[in-house]
Amino acid sequence: MSANRSESERHEAAKRSLSPKRVAAAAGVFVVVLFLDFFLNVILPDSSIRQLLMLAACNVLAALSLNVINGMAGQFSIGHAGFLGIGAYTSAVIASHMHHFFGGGEPSFARSFAIVPACLCASAIVAGFFGFLVGLPSLRLRGDYLAIVTLGFAEIFRLIIATAQADSGNGQSVMGRISAAISSLGGQNGYQGIGNDGIPLYAGPFWVFGLAALLGLVAWRIKFSGWGRALRGLREDEIAAAAVGVDPTRYKVTSFVIAAAGGGIAGGLSAIMRDGLGIVNPDNYNFQTSFDAITMVILGGSGSVTGSAMGGVFVTFTVKAIELLQGSSVVQDLRVSVEWLDLNALRMIVYAMVIIALMIVRPEGLLGERELFGKRRAVQR
């Protein structure tokens, strides 16, 4: 009886997923992002605005991926910048070599269908692999101990790339080849593609906004699936969840791998994003980047998919607003008499104060675990 019921439930779920409304919505999103890829530069001639919008979409992906482990699973990782950086470097290297293999030239939309999926799949796999290596031993830890481990991993990754130097005297050994490979990433100056010609920027609005919508849907489905309910059960009471058959280590490690892979996709997408800088620098993946990602999740509401997306957009536009204010004539005039006035540095203090105030007034964040588009429940009669 239960087998027949579960089979019928699967059929009903398949029918719902292929309902005309959902197919029409998916087709509408596809048409919109395709239109934006060709006409966004006409609608918004200013490349800085286009870059800001696509960066916001990449930050939404970073927040959604971190929300899986910090929000749904209730773990505290503060080293998400490491996975973003791994994804960025992986994507940049693969895009540069594939671009060179295809003969160079200007990045084209048609060629992006070969290069962008390869870059992002590799970024997700490599970042997910490192997420497994970090998560397997460390997710037996909790709270502050886990936070220290993840922070240490992110800093180790950044410093290895920033300080790498080729070993000319031992180039044929395994360690010598590894050292040469890492040093080819540009060190402190950053990776700028083959011949330092810049990373080819293949990911236009079609890929950036389309993947933000697609992975947002994936995060939504994870939250409301049995897997997501098990994660929330572990977060609330690990002993009770384990008593009903939920394996804490397996669920936590798998969730950590999913979060790391999502971070790799976000970082890989930002590295080859159209209107980007064409360079990947290790200093872009320091503790401040991890702190920004945590701020996105906490502000929107830990465990909320739409809340994390709102937090990603808010932090992105706030950072840009502070940069514009810092470069304004008013602030520059003030710095003549107040030399320590640096709004970019003060941003961390402001965010910390906002988070402290939010924890006092509304500790669950703006939305808590709620969503902007809540599921409708049938009325019981």
Q: Are 240 and 163 in contact (CB under 8 A)?
A: no
Q: Are 50 and 203 in contact (CB under 8 A)?
A: no
- pLDDT value at position 20? 80
CA 267 to chain centre: 6
Q: What CATH number corresponds to the domain at position 31? A: 1.10.3470
- DSSP element (H, E) containing 161: helix 143-163
Within a domain: 264: yes
- pLDDT value at position 157? 92
What type of residue is 168?
S
Counting DSSP H helices and E strands in the chain, the numbers are 15, 0
Q: Which two tokens stand for residue 281?
A: 């620098």
Residue pointed to by tokens 């970024």: 123
For residue 279, list its beta bridge partners: none
d(CA 68, CA 303) in angstroms, rounded, equals 7
Contacts of 175 (CB under 8 A, 6+ apart): 167
Q: Are 293 and 355 in contact (CB under 8 A)?
A: no
- 280 phi and psi angles, rounded to 5 deg: -115, 120
Q: Which two tokens stand for residue 112?
A: 């992006």
For residue 273, list its beta bridge partners: 203
- pLDDT value at position 370? 81
Within a domain: 12: no
Within a domain: 84: yes
Residue pointed to by tokens 């890492």: 182
Tell me the average confidence (pLDDT) per consecutive run of 10 residues in the chain, 381 residues long: 47 59 86 92 90 94 93 86 95 94 89 95 96 80 79 91 70 73 86 89 94 93 88 84 84 90 95 91 91 89 89 89 75 69 70 80 79 55 39
Within a domain: 13: no
Total structural domains in the chain?
1
Residue 236: give the domain boundaries.
19-361
- 203 phi and psi angles, rounded to 5 deg: -85, 100
d(CA 108, CA 139) in angstroms, rounded, equals 43
Within a domain: 371: no
Within a domain: 216: yes
Please give the model's pTM, rounded to 2 decimal places: 0.87
- pLDDT value at position 3? 44
Within a domain: 247: yes
CA 361 to chain centre: 28
- pLDDT value at position 103? 87
Handedness of CA 93, 94, 99, 103 (dihedral sign): positive
- pLDDT value at position 351? 75
Q: Are 127 and 260 in contact (CB under 8 A)?
A: yes
